[in-house]
Amino acid sequence: MKRYFQYLREYRLQCILGALSKWIEAALELLVPLVMANIIDKGVTGGRGISYVLWGGAVMLAMGAIGFGCAIFCQRTASIASQGFGTNVRNALFRHINTLSQRELDKVGAASLLTRTVNDVNQMQSAVAMIIRLVVRSPFIAICSVVICLILDWQIGLVVFAASVAVSAVLWVIMKKSVPLYTRNQKNLDRLTQITGENLEGARVVRAFQSRDKERARFDNAADVTLENSLRIGKISAWLNPLTYALINFGVALILFWSGYKVDTGSGLTSGEIIAIINYMTQILNALIVISNLVSLFTKAHASMNRVSEIFDLKSSVKDGGESVADFSAPAVEMNGVSFSYAGDDRYTLNGISMCIPSGATVGIIGGTGSGKSTLVNLLPRLYDVTEGELKIFGHDVRDYSLLELRKLIGVVPQNAGLFSGTVRSNLQWGKDDATDEDYEKALKTACAYDFVMEKGGLDQPVFESGKNFSGGQRQRLTIARAVVGNPKILILDDSCSALDFATDAALRANIASLKGVTTFLVSQRASSLHNADVIFVMEDGKIVGRGRHEELYGTCDLYTEICDSQARSAK
């Protein structure tokens, strides 16, 4: 919890003043019944007359007005402080997420990171607002009401106290019972959402298999479970208001009986005071209900805080490196006994990989799904760090470069090509933000993307979220252009031509081969795409099972031969 104070620090003053003014309002509100009791006891029964009554009225109005002013001030400061707190936490969290490496991001998952940044921080924010606005007020009113009643008459005050305790107990029990039911309700709703979603997404399958009735029965089932649980929640929560109301007012009835005796024996209890006590009972009830709502709000906020803290606690497993400068006369990539495991244990995804790639070479990597191809190329820009072994780029260990420099050296086209909303230009700017239009156009031409970009509307053609307004093949070519525009020394294409037809694929490879001094890694499922590579690595289960040119491998490496043959079979 402590770490979050820093985000509230600049609003210290608002918090203190806000809480203070709320406290003044509560105190004034507590005094009102006492003033009224005075009006009745002194003005009416005591015979001080109309002028006393009018004075009392003026005091009450003044107190109301001052209280109102205080409350308004408090709401304003609380809004500013809590929204500011939320803003600070959100910014810090998003910044922190941006320092994490792929390993941590994989572990938490994108959807979860998003909910934590948006929803969980909002929960914490409203908790801060409620602390300033209500935590001072409600318990103060509840406790002081009881104390004042005890002062007015300690025996009757005890009745008030007992009633308050009983109400608190009821609130506690009802909350305790209903919370698990609410959790279950959420699960039930998720199930309904899931079935509905499946019937939308799988509408064709449902119809093709004539499963309308089956799906209806499935939904009915889930809907019935939901209904049953809701009814149980309803039955329990319907107790809340009647029980608390009855407890408080039985207290009032008891007080009336008792006051009868007290007034009769002349123990000093006045009718004004009785009215005041009844009034306090109502105040206590309202305050306690607010407190019970606060408790559930804070339970939620606390859970949210823990989820956010989990993210803050993650530290990037990829540490920023030193200040080495690339030595372009050295081999582009050297690997010596590189092993890698996602979990950090002995379940290796890559095992004992060694290679030495001279600058300017074209490298092909082929193998089945899960053979470790993508993992291998992900090690170069340090999306992950090697678990064992040595990985050198241009003569230095990758960890000796600053991350910024290293990633400038390497242009990557990831497997599932992602574009970002904006324009074609803004997407290319990711590769190099100070490039000229000629640079961008050149990159587009290299990536065989120039024609369709110009046809669509040029560099300023809008790009929708994740590039929805481009076809799969167009997206792939744009991400290639994005990687090429920064003039990287090493270019990695991770299965990024899968949606291209053979002709475009070939043209693109020719363009890339003509780039001077660029070392290229081509990861592919298609043997034909790698035909002209200077060296092909055949991967299986995280190991290299064959290396060499196509002619050398075909016929000697069983797996490679099998892949080529199966693809040729379907191609003949």
Partner 1 sequence: MKGQKMKRNLVRRLLQYIRPYKFYVVCSFILSLLYVGFVLVGPVLYGQAIDAMIGAGAVDFRTVFITAGGFAVCVLMAGLSQKLLGNCVNSLCYKLVCDLRREAFYSLSAAKIRYIDSHSQGDVMTRIINDVDVISDGLLQGASQLFTGVITILITLVVMFVINYVIALVVVVLTPLSLFVASFITKGTFRSFSKQVAVQGQLAAHAKEMIDGQKTVILFNEQENSCKKFEEIDARLYEVGWRAQYFSALTNPSTRFVNAVIYAAVGVLGAIFCILSSESGGVIHLGSLVLGGFTVGKLSVFLSYANQYTKPFNEVSNVVTQLQSAFASASRVFEVIDEEGERTDGDCHLASVKGDIRIEHACFSYSKDTKLIEDLNVSVKAGSKVAIVGPTGCGKTTLINLLMRFYDLDAGKIYIDGVDAKKIPLDEYRKMFGMVLQDSFLAEESIAWNIAYGNENATRAEIEAAAKAAYCDFFIRNTENGYDTVLRGNRSLSQGEKQLLCIARVMLSDPPMLILDEATSNIDTMTEMRIQRAFKKIMTGRTSFIVAHRLSTILDADLILVMNRGAVIEQGTHAELMEKRGFYYNLYNSQFSN
Does 87 engage in binding with partner 1 (CB under 8 A)? yes
**Interface residue with partner 1, options 135, 147, 198, 302 (CB under 8 A):** 198
331 SS3 class: coil
Does 423 engage in binding with partner 1 (CB under 8 A)? no
Instruction: Give the number of other Cβ atoms within 10 Å of residue 463's Cβ.
Output: 20
- Residue located via tokens 């002349």: 266
Contact 22/132 with Cβ under 8 angstroms?
Answer: yes
**Interface residue with partner 1, options 140, 150, 166, 226 (CB under 8 A):** 226
Instruction: Tell me the C-alpha distance between 467 and 478, whole Å.
Output: 10
Does 36 engage in binding with partner 1 (CB under 8 A)? yes
C-beta closer to partner 1: residue 394 or 560? 560
Does 49 engage in binding with partner 1 (CB under 8 A)? yes
Does 487 engage in binding with partner 1 (CB under 8 A)? no
What is the closest distance, in whole angstroms, from the C-beta atom of residue 482 to partner 1 in the complex? 8
Instruction: Tell me the C-alpha distance between 225 and 221, whole Å.
Output: 6
Q: Which helix (H) or strand (E) holds 205?
A: helix 203-208
Contact 390/333 with Cβ under 8 angstroms?
Answer: no
What is the closest distance, in whole angstroms, from the C-beta atom of residue 70 to partner 1 in the complex? 9
Does 117 engage in binding with partner 1 (CB under 8 A)? yes
**Interface residue with partner 1, options 23, 140, 219, 342 (CB under 8 A):** 219
Q: Where are the alpha helices (DSSP H) in 238-346?
A: 240-265, 271-313
**x-or-dash pattern for partner 1, window 270-299, by CB under 8 A?**
-xx-xx--xx--x-----------------
Does 354 engage in binding with partner 1 (CB under 8 A)? no
CA dihedral 366, 371, 373, 374 (to 10 degrees): 140
Instruction: Tell me the C-alpha distance between 191 and 365, whole Å.
Output: 43
Does 97 engage in binding with partner 1 (CB under 8 A)? yes
C-beta closer to partner 1: residue 336 or 545? 545
CA dihedral 107, 109, 113, 115 (to 10 degrees): -130
**Interface residue with partner 1, options 72, 303, 343, 510 (CB under 8 A):** 72
Instruction: Give the number of other Cβ atoms within 10 Å of residue 543's Cβ.
Output: 16
**Interface residue with partner 1, options 207, 315, 319, 468 (CB under 8 A):** 207
What is the closest distance, in whole angstroms, from the C-beta atom of residue 126 to partner 1 in the complex? 8
Does 120 engage in binding with partner 1 (CB under 8 A)? no
**Interface residue with partner 1, options 204, 438, 455, 551 (CB under 8 A):** 204
β-strand 519-524 against 362-367: which pairing, if any?
parallel
Near partner 1 in 500-539, by CB under 8 A: 501-503, 506, 525, 528
What is the closest distance, in whole angstroms, from the C-beta atom of residue 167 to partner 1 in the complex? 13
Cα–Cα nearest to 524, from 408, 411, 377, 358:
377
Does 337 engage in binding with partner 1 (CB under 8 A)? no
C-beta closer to partner 1: residue 351 or 524? 524
Near partner 1 in 431-460, by CB under 8 A: 431
Does 259 engage in binding with partner 1 (CB under 8 A)? yes
Instruction: Give the number of other Cβ atoms within 10 Å of residue 515's Cβ.
Output: 15
